[in-house]
């Protein structure tokens, strides 16, 4: 099922999301939610989607497999990735400025400075702990989605913001 994506100025986009527990992760309705989030992400031509974007303030996001493919150093299977209660930290000080957009901020783009290399810890859809490095575009996508979980939108960090018709 495709889910409705909420857009600014919806207040759910500005709230810090709460962590979920293993009972939530293992529930069949949660597994369906993860699948519906992936379907919604693709139907709306996204590369990632965070639960607050569908009105659920829980620390869950999905990253499309194309982001993983773009990371030459990726050690994960190239498949859609569900990150539950994710955290990240920079590996080094290298940053990159690139153009970003967001399904919850339609037709708006801006340049955002993000870390190039990050270390990520999360649970996967099976409730198993995963740890990995993410680089370049893959790292950017994760940082963007985790920002959503903290109530931060790319427009809060962007410069040169512009809209398209």
Q: Rounded to two decimals, what is the model's pTM?
A: 0.95
Residue 102 assigned ligand-binding role: yes
Residue 61 assigned ligand-binding role: no
The CATH number that domain 11-163 falls under is 3.90.45.10
| pLDDT per residue as tens digits for the range 5-47 | 999 999 999 999 999 999 999 999 999 999 999 999 999 999 9
Residue 96 assigned ligand-binding role: no
When pLDDT is cut at 50, 70 and 90, the band that residue 72 belongs to is confident
Active site residues: 145
DSSP string covering the chain: -PPPPP-TT-GGGGSPPBP--HHHHHSHHHHHHHHHHHHHHHHTT-SEEEGGGGT--BSEEEE-HHHHHT-TT--S-SS-EEEEEEEEEESSS-EEEEEEEETTEEEEEEEEEEESEEEEEEE-TTS-EEEEEEEHHHHHHHHHHHHHHTT--GGGT-EEEEE--
| pLDDT per residue as tens digits for the range 118-134 | 999 999 999 999 999 99
What per-residue confidence (pLDDT) applies to 63? 97
- Domain positions in the chain are 11-163
């Amino acid at each position: 099922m495709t889910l409705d994506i909420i857009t600014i100025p919806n207040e759910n986009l500005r709230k810090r999301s709460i962590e979920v527990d293993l009972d939530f992760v293992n529930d069949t309705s949660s597994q369906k939610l993860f699948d519906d989030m992936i379907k919604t992400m693709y139907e709306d031509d996204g590369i990632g989607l965070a639960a607050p974007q569908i009105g659920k303030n829980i620390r869950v996001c999905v990253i499309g497999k194309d982001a993983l493919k773009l990371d030459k150093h990726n050690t994960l299977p190239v498949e859609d990735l569900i990150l539950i209660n994710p955290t990240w930290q920079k590996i080094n000080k290298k940053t990159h400025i690139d153009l970003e957009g967001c399904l919850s901020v339609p037709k708006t783009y801006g340049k955002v400075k993000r870390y190039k290399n990050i270390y990520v810890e999360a649970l996967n859809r099976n409730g198993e702990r995963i740890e990995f490095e993410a680089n370049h575009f893959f790292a950017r996508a994760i940082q963007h989605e985790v920002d959503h979980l903290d109530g931060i939108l790319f427009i809060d960090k962007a410069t040169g913001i512009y809209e398209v018709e």
